[in-house]
Amino acid sequence: MLFQIFDAFKARLHESNSKVNQVALEALHKMIPLLKDNLSSVINMLIPAIVDNNLNSKNPGIYAAATNVIQALCQYLDNFLLLQPFCTKAQFLSGKAKQDLTEKLA
């Protein structure tokens, strides 16, 4: 059930409409403390959706929302769940997103 919900939700994280994208990130930020480790089944789908377009966004609202989501993931989820997806994404990122994710890994 959770997988189906987040499969649909991840499209909002790739949304070309910046307002929709930012609201989706802000909503995800609020969901993380409630769902915590229950997100383990969808974390490999969520991290690319959060990072790909949002962590390098020139829109300050989207960038701030994305960094808040990453921070919440680090705070509320077992770090072991985040290690592999963060490493995988960090290999292929560039710019500020690579720097931000590498700092989280460290």
Q: Which domain holds residue 2?
A: 1-103
User: pTM score, two decimals?
Assistant: 0.91
The count of domains in the chain is: 1
> Residues 84-95: pLDDT tens digits?
999 998 888 888
Q: What is the largest CA-CA distance in the chain?
A: 35
% of residues, the chain, pLDDT over 90: 69
* Average pLDDT of the residues in 23-39: 94
Query: What pLDDT does 95 receive?
Result: 85
% of residues, the chain, pLDDT over 70: 100
Query: What pLDDT does 25 receive?
Result: 97
Length of the chain: 106
* Average pLDDT of the residues in 32-47: 92
> Residues 51-81: pLDDT tens digits?
988 998 999 999 999 999 999 999 999 999 9
